[in-house]
Amino acid sequence: MRELVENREPLWQVLALTMDFLGGGVVATLVVPALVAVALLVARRPWAAAYYLVATIVTGAAVQLLKQFFGRARPENFLTNLDFGSFPSGHVANAATMAAVIAILLPRIWVVVAGTVYTALMMISRTYLGAHWLTDTLGALLLGIGVAIVTWAPLAAKLDGERALAKERRSRSAKGIAP
């Protein structure tokens, strides 16, 4: 952490603060979940929308419970506004949950790569800004992925059925057959 603080550069700081904005506050807790849920509903995937929202809410609650339980002090020399507790990183947990859920819903290699890159950038930015220790971001990564999997399990059959129906609708549409 000392090495990071001593070698901060304005360009990297701007990029890290951009990730900070995207991964926290109203954007991450209300705007992004609402946009993703609406997109899934427009795509006629209500179970997928519910799954995404449930996973997001469970992740947020788990982060706050763990922050209160551990009460870990944050690093010094941070460059952003912070709440209580360093472990786990809420920004990273949200990013990992979103990436994992979307990868489960849209199993495409480009989705997995994009989600991995986004989550890795969030982990790096949180550490770079001095908001978290590296272990805070690693724990949050595991938490986010874990919540995505645990919340998926009871909905797996509904989500698979919904995916099959969506695929059938696309196929019929491509052939010019009415739904």
HSE of 21 in the Cβ direction (CA atoms, 13 Å)? 6
Helix axes 32-42 and 90-105, enclosed angle (nearest 10): 10
What gap in Å lies between CA 125 and CA 148, rounded to an integer? 22
Q: Is the pLDDT of residue 96 over 60?
A: yes
> Exposed/middle/buried for 84, CB within 10 Å: 0-12, 13-18, 19+?
exposed
Q: What confidence category does residue 170 fall into, taking pLDDT thresholds of 50, 70 and 90?
A: confident
Q: How far apart are the first and last CA of the chain?
A: 57
What gap in Å lies between CA 53 and CA 176, rounded to an integer? 33
pLDDT one-digit tens code per residue, 20-77: 888 888 888 899 999 999 999 999 999 999 999 999 999 999 999 999 898 777 777 7
Share of the chain above pLDDT 90, in %: 53
> What is the pLDDT, as a whole number, of residue 14?
80
> What is the pLDDT, as a whole number, of residue 177?
65
Instruction: Look at 107-111, 116-120, 156-160, 166-170 and tell me which has the smallest mean pLDDT.
Output: 166-170
